[in-house]
Structure 1
């Protein structure tokens, strides 16, 4: 049985996804500007353009996971703040999710530990996409011609 404090803790962890999303948004915009700048200048480096497109696409995927994580953060916070019993809260949540088509009927009544595991898995996916963006961006910077031209 999950406690209200655990629900609050999961909601708090999931809200950290917003910071990850902000960093990813910056990297995504940087990749878009880099790609567009090449097209506007007319000097297109295929590798640089490929890096830009990949970093941009990772940012778009990360944005999707960020929205899912934010949604779960709100749900966990709402569940933690409710004064109803956990069983009543779960039943009400499952009804709402099913009515909106966000959850199949057969997934109703899942344990909160399973829900917590799933929500934190989404946060890990979001983090992994951001980490990949960061590594590719650093790789792009370190292999760029402007660093080696002066040597």
Structure 2
């Protein structure tokens, strides 16, 4: 059985995903602004549009994982405040997630340790999508002189 401190620790770690999401949102916004620059009469090359589209796709992928991480962070936080009735709340949570089609309808037998590890895997997935987005942004900036992206 998970303790209040374990659940709070996982919730705290999962809340770090918000900072990752904010950085990704900034990168996506910059890509969107550069990608839409031709609408303002600024000449752009096709390679620019491709790189911006890739940055946006990576940003959307990161956003998907960020939403899942944020949901888990809130759930862990709420359950930590009710650790004395964790078994009852776990059953209610599983039933609700099944009704919303967010998990399979069969009863889950996962322990809270397994659930915690699963939630932290989601955070790692989010970080990997952000890392891919950052690497592409760095490659674009370093490649500017060779690709003449800015026109």
Per-residue CA deviation, residues 87-116 of structure 1 (Å, 9 max, x unaligned), is 222112112222222221225232112211
**Shift in CA distance, 46/107, structure 1 to aligned 2, threshold 3 Å:** farther
8 Å Cα contact 1:38-1:49 kept in structure 2? no
Tell me the residue number matched to 2:143. Answer: 143
8 Å Cα contact 1:38-1:45 kept in structure 2? no
Count matched residues: 148
Tell me the residue number matched to 1:110. Answer: 110
Tell me the residue number matched to 1:4. Answer: 4
Q: Distance in 2 between matches of 1:94 and 1:35?
A: 42
Tell me the residue number matched to 1:86. Answer: 86
TM-score, normalisation: structure 1? 0.88
8 Å Cα contact 1:28-1:56 kept in structure 2? yes
Q: Are positions 1:124 and 2:124 aligned together?
A: yes
Per-residue CA deviation, residues 38-97 of structure 1 (Å, 9 max, x unaligned), is 454363322222111100111111111111100000011111111533222211211222
Instruction: Give the match's secondary structure for 2:106.
Output: helix
TM-score, normalisation: structure 2? 0.88
Written as runs of structure 1 = structure 2, the 5 A alignment for 1:38-77 is 38=38, 40-41=40-41, 43-77=43-77
**Shift in CA distance, 138/107, structure 1 to aligned 2, threshold 3 Å:** farther
Tell me the residue number matched to 2:96. Answer: 96
Q: Distance in 1 between matches of 2:29 and 2:87?
A: 44
Tell me the residue number matched to 1:15. Answer: 15
Gaps of 5+ in 2: none
8 Å Cα contact 1:31-1:55 kept in structure 2? yes
Tell me how far 1:27 sits from its aligned partner: 0.2
Instruction: Give the match's secondary structure for 1:2.
Output: coil
Q: How large is the Cα RMSD of the aligned pairs? A: 2.1
